[in-house]
A = this chain, B = another copy of it.
Amino acid sequence: MIEGVLLDVSGVLYEGAQSVPGAPAALARLQAAGLPVRLLTNTTTKPCHAVAEKLQDLGFEVAEDAVLTPATVAMAWLTETGHRPHLLIHPDLREDFRTAPDTGQTAVVVGDAGEYFTYNNLNKAFRLLIEGAPLVALAENRMFRDEDGGLSLDAGAFVRALEFAAGLEARLVGKPAAAFFSAGAAALGCAPESVAMVGDDAEADVAGALASGIGAGILVRTGKYRAGDETLFDPAPTCVASDICEAVDLIIARAGH
């Protein structure tokens, strides 16, 4: 029985600058069915308010506090553990760290910095790491679908580079980290096993959610999906849907009320 829903954003609700056909109405149907929804996006280039605004512009009814990003989880960790962040992130994301601690041990926080992944910026982070700073990875995705239509290097490549050189392991707070899915279930007010996660990334969204104890993982054939993705990762998706519209039909059919 599904009592709450986590939705990936890019590739599920929209592709590029266009909403997936029928997606705003599909989201509204979930809300009308009384199912709480949170949007779980691994974006590390946009602050939460910008994610919500983009969705609103595309016709989705979404509040800013329904959006959870890895920055949300990283901020909670920095605050709880008293770490001051050294940010290797896109400048647009800095606003989500504006209330971070400014004292305490330094932690290196890496997101998708894009063109800000210069040798000098990476080397500054490396030098902090070999002096003992922990490494927090907002994401470890290998690639993303870029604006020109091609696949491009994502933050995970740079996280691996720093891990290898400094001889340590990053603390991942983005998908597929269990911490992110747990934060999503907590925000829904649901037990993880009663939550469904919908995503276009068979590894980070779907296998990650299932491995973290989320009850159902639905893979959609939009966004970055490539034929056969559902066979590549363990656990396999609970089911595969053509798009968010079909996924919502499946969820409502299995809803707890």
Interface residues of A (CB under 8 A from B): 113-120, 122-123, 126-127, 130, 142-143, 150-154, 156-158, 160-167
How many angstroms from the CA of A165 to the CA of B156 in the assembled complex? 7
Copies of this protein, total? 2
Smallest CB gap from A113: residue in B: B119
Q: Which of the residues B114, B115, B117, B151 comes within 8 Å of A130, measured between beta carbons?
A: B151
Q: Is the CB of A153 within 8 A of B115?
A: no
Q: What secondary structure prevails in chain A residues at the interface with B? A: helix
Q: Is the CB of B118 within 8 A of A114?
A: no
Nearest chain B CB to A57 CB, angstrom units: 28
Smallest CB gap from A150: residue in B: B127
Chain B residues with Cβ below 8 Å from A158 are: 161
Q: Is the CB of A151 within 8 A of B127?
A: yes
How many angstroms from the CA of A15 to the CA of B120 in the assembled complex? 23
Given contacts A156-B164, A164-B142, contact A115 B119 (CB under 8 A): yes
Nearest chain B CB to A148 CB, angstrom units: 10
Chain B residues with Cβ below 8 Å from A166 are: 142
Smallest CB gap from A117: residue in B: B119
Q: Can you report 10 residue pairs joining A to B where beta carbons are below 8 Å apart? A: A115-B118, A116-B119, A118-B118, A123-B152, A126-B157, A130-B143, A143-B165, A153-B161, A153-B165, A161-B161
Chain B residues with Cβ below 8 Å from A161 are: 153, 157-158, 160-161
Chain B residues with Cβ below 8 Å from A113 are: 119
Nearest chain B CB to A142 CB, angstrom units: 5
How many angstroms from the CA of A172 to the CA of B165 in the assembled complex? 16
Q: Is the CB of A122 within 8 A of B164?
A: no
